[in-house]
Structure 1
Amino acid sequence: MPRLSVNGIDLYYEEHGEGVPVLGIHGTPSSALLWEDAAVELGRIGRCIIYDRRGFYRSGRPEPFDAVGLTEHVDDAAALLEILHAAPAVVIGRSTGGEIALYLAHRFPELVQALVLLEPAVFWMDPKALAWAMELRKSVLHAAAKDPWRAAESVVRIALGDQAWEALPATFKDMFAATSPAVLAEIRGEGLDLSEKQAELGAEELGQLRQPTLLVSAEDSPEVLRLVNARLAEALPHSESELVSGGHLINPAHPAVLEFVRRFAAARD
């Protein structure tokens, strides 16, 4: 399995295709395992790079692994792009990965050509969304107090529904369970969607982002996730929005995403 030493952690990563760089950042809990089919599709357009974030599934964990925050994840994504000479990239982030992608564009604008945010978990954008996230945080901590290995399952059941969890193949359930320590580390850290202390970009900072941005929402997701994207659409000066069918696990290779990425592939050519 290909790995890179990034900021003292071995990160698992994959590359598919060539051309315009495309970086995929998965959500919480998750892994690049859930992006493999999408990466193949994106790899037909450009050079798609996916990876397991620090502490998740096939990537390494610091010792002790008590807490991890937004800053570490953003620094890892930036270092990965620089080490692989893959900047500026079209960065696709789903859920927590969307939050990381947004802050990557804010802190390292030279590394990001464009953004695709699949229901990014920037819950501070809307009061209802923030209240929902804090209730989710409580539920996860309650479940973890009984069994720490069920932290990830708790997130999936609330975000996607009990039926979605029960329908998952055993392989994916095992993968999610293995990410529970990372879920709890993020809850104990700072700046992430389930952290007690969340990061926040003000209207002025969001208005300074110059990257073209595609905001994708899903019809069957919790309403608060669509509220977040509506707020972002108002704040980001170069954004466009798309509503797709299905739930929160939006396909990173949805036709609307592929068409957006093709624009930058064509410009590069």
Structure 2
Amino acid sequence: MSLTKLLAIAGFGLILGGCQSLLPQQEPLQPKRVAWEHRLPGCAGESCPLVNIDTLKFANNPQLDELVEKRLLSMTQNSPDAPQPTSLQSFEKDFLQNAEPGWKTYLQAKLIDQHDDVAVIEFSSYIDTGGNHGMPGRGFINYDRDTGKVLTLNDILLPSRSGAFWAQVEQAHKRWLAKNQLDKDPSFVKDWPFRETQNIALTRDQLLLKYDVLTLGPYSNGHPSLTIPYAQLKGILKPEFLPES
């Protein structure tokens, strides 16, 4: 092949690569908020059982709508073996029919970030079926709009980098302890050791990990949040999941 042709092909490749880097990303998602609160029919007073739902609907994306509803429904289960309700409406009906005075449920889905064609949805729950206090829950979906897939930790990590990832998370845990002056309490450090979590959010500015209550500390500590700058995750996360500046 002549030098002229080689240069022409190389030039075309550079131009094509430049054009691809300038291709626009997908239009931002603009979900519709759908919220309601229902109490036990015929009941009056502060102790009436209630169900409060605050969720999202995405135009022309029934798959994402289904993923959101299934995640909310999974947060209503008392144990891993408990059957999952078929819909939010069926859960509400069964909960109110079987509820005792003072029982209440709150379920929420919220779009907290979207960048590089990844949408991050946070899920919150609070279920009170008696006792000293209700049980709150948190979770995330990192939705890859290119593939229509919910990203797992294995999807975003480079091969054989799981150990390096959790080492970074453990350092973030130590920063959290120090920030809250919990590292100065030997009994706390002993009773509440570092643990892993699957509640991970690929936010625009940093990687966020949010723990369930009673995981890294007592109920009064709520949902501990750990953060890791993306600069510390280079060589650990796949490059396509390191958000562009």
Taking structure 1 as the reference length, the TM-score comes to 0.28
Larger Rg: 2
**Which protein has the bigger helix share?**
1
Q: Which has the higher contact order (CA 8 A, sep 6+)?
A: 1
**Which protein has the bigger strand share?**
2
Taking structure 2 as the reference length, the TM-score comes to 0.30
